[in-house]
């Protein structure tokens, strides 16, 4: 997924600080001056004349962290006790587990949930497969499928190396939507292997979530699987990202009085994220869409889908709204900015142009990818699709999700808090309703 701090180092520094005014302030100021960022700061012990605190510090790598620690050691009244890798601690043993939903405390309980009691349920499903929706977890299971070719900003590191990301998706499914997300790792670059594997395991699931599969293979894999299966198949890097970007643009349009439908939108980068955003904006009704990519085949596909290919200068010159998803920091130069443009430089950890610099250079609004995270979309999207028993997730469902997400943002914000459960519940309801209205789900008799 594009929009994460994939290259940040996070460490927890335990320090003993003299409990007098100014000491903690000097420490935090030093870290800030050296371009470090703080996460959580908490007191773990209060002694006579001192406090012991844990400070989560974000840096751009080990060398920057070492430099910060070296300077902290010089501060009077502050002693470094320990430096812990909290990311490793959180990942010990993995991040999720499967738990039972019914108690099994006696032999009689076991006879009910397993043999011999389970046989009667199996017989009923054998006679009527639709009863699996009533008697099993299938309608609430989502396969999280990856081959590891586009993991975060790390690239092709393999499916097993991508497992921590898939576990994170499973955790979010559980926490935000009460869905069973089950990682499926496929160590293959062959699209046919991926398609055949997913087709064969599909009966286990109510939906398929393709994750971190690189372009252009992801387009064919998604399309062919959806044509084969009667359950939703969605590539999250395309469509989850697109939903959240559309939500952000809806609020930007409100704050800046821009007519989104009539604005020219330019895309720098036409990979999975850029193409997904383009497709959804086109479905929303934006007609002036131009784009560029270093890959000639990507530009050709963009043209076939209805976009107008150009070069970097053409995008910057002719677009009211610029959306960059290249992974190339500082690609957009200040002199390229047109007065009154909206700039979304969405690559992390370093955007194509710093938002503050873009505004100073003439942009009416600018943002980077730190707040545009597709985890705001996929839990509710899939929950709504599953609840409605939709056969697929269409553009109308995605647009309903985007509008709902936008409506929950606080005044001045692009999108709401990702951990606000009410947002995901509202998205699920909006998607479910739109699934029935649009024909993606069959209305019950």
Q: Which residues pair with 10 in a beta bridge?
A: 58
Sign of CA dihedral 381, 386, 387, 393: positive
Burial of 87 (0-12, 13-18, 19+ CB in 10 A): middle
CA angle 233, 137, 382 (to 5 degrees): 35
Mean pLDDT per 10-residue interval, the chain, length 445 residues: 56 94 93 92 92 93 93 94 91 91 94 95 97 97 97 90 96 97 98 98 98 96 98 96 97 95 97 96 97 96 97 97 94 96 90 96 92 90 98 98 97 94 98 97 70
Sign of CA dihedral 322, 323, 326, 328: positive
Q: What is the pLDDT of residue 443?
A: 67
CA distance 267 to 142: 31
Sign of CA dihedral 171, 175, 176, 180: positive
Taking the mean position of all CA atoms in its chain, how far away is CA 227?
A: 25
Catalytic residue among 70, 114, 360, 437: 114
Nearest to 419 by CA among 371, 386, 382, 361: 371
Q: What is the pLDDT of residue 373?
A: 85
Instruction: Quote the pTM value.
Output: 0.90
Q: What is the pLDDT of residue 444?
A: 59
CA distance 122 to 134: 12
Q: What is the pLDDT of residue 369?
A: 85
Q: What is the pLDDT of residue 2?
A: 42
Q: What is the pLDDT of residue 214?
A: 95
- Look up 114 and say whether it is catalytic: yes
Measured between alpha carbons, how far apart are the two ends of the chain, in Å? 40
Q: Which H/E stretch holds residue 233? A: strand 233-235
For the segment 159-189, what is each residue's pLDDT rounded down to a tens digit?
999 999 999 999 999 999 999 999 999 999 9
Tokens 């990301």 locate to 165
Q: What is the pLDDT of residue 154?
A: 84
Catalytic residue among 11, 169, 279, 398: 169
CA distance 373 to 346: 10
What domains lie within the chain, and their CATH numbers? 9-91 (3.30.70.260), 95-136 (no CATH), 140-231 (3.40.50.10380), 238-445 (3.40.50.720)
- Look up 392 and say whether it is catalytic: no
Q: What is the pLDDT of residue 1?
A: 38
User: In whole angstroms, how large is the CA radius of gyration of the chain?
Assistant: 24
């Amino acid at each position: 997924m594009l929009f994460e701090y994939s290259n940040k180092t996070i460490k927890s520094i335990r320090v003993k600080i003299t409990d007098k005014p100014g000491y903690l302030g000097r420490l935090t100021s030093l870290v800030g001056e050296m371009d470090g960022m703080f996460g959580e700061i908490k007191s773990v012990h209060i002694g006579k004349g001192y406090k012991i605190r844990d400070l989560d510090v974000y840096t751009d790598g080990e060398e920057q962290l070492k430099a910060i620690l070296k300077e902290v050691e010089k501060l009077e009244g502050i002693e470094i006790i320990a430096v812990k890798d909290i990311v490793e601690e959180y990942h010990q043993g993995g991040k999720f587990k499967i738990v039972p939903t019914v108690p099994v405390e006696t032999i009689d309980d076991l006879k009910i949930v397993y043999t011999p009691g389970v046989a009667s349920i199996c017989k009923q499903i054998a006679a009527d497969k639709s009863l699996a929706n009533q008697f099993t977890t299938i309608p609430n299971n989502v396969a999280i499928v990856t081959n590891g070719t586009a993991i975060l900003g790390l690239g092709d590191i393999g499916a097993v190396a991508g497992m921590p990301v898939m576990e994170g998706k499973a955790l979010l499914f559980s926490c935000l939507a009460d869905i069973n997300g089950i990682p499926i790792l496929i160590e293959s670059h062959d699209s046919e292997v991926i398609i055949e594997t997913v087709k064969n395991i599909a009966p286990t699931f109510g939906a398929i979530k393709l994750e971190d599969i690189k372009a252009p293979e992801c387009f064919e894999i998604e399309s062919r699987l959806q044509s084969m299966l009667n359950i939703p198949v969605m590539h999250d890097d395309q469509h989850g990202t697109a939903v959240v970007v559309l939500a952000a643009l809806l609020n930007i349009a409100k704050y800046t009085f821009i007519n989104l439908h009539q604005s020219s939108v330019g895309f720098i980068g036409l990979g999975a994220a850029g193409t997904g955003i383009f497709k959804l904006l086109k479905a929303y009704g934006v007609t002036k869409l131009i784009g560029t990519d270093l890959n000639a085949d990507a530009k050709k596909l963009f043209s076939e889908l209805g976009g107008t290919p150009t070069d970097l200068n053409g995008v910057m010159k002719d677009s009211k709204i610029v959306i960059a998803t290249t992974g190339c920091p500082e690609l957009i130069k200040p002199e390229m900015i047109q007065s009154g443009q909206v700039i979304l430089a969405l690559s992390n950890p370093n955007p194509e142009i710093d938002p503050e610099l873009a505004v100073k250079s003439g942009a009416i609004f600018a943002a980077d990818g730190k707040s545009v995270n597709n985890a705001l979309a996929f839990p509710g999207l899939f929950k709504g699709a599953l609840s409605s028993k939709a056969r697929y997730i269409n553009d109308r469902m995605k647009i309903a999700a985007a509008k709902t997400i936008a409506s929950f943002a606080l005044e001045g914000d692009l999108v709401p808090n990702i951990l606000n459960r009410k947002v995901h519940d509202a998205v699920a309801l909006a998607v479910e309703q739109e699934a029935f209205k649009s024909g993606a789900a069959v209305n019950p008799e």
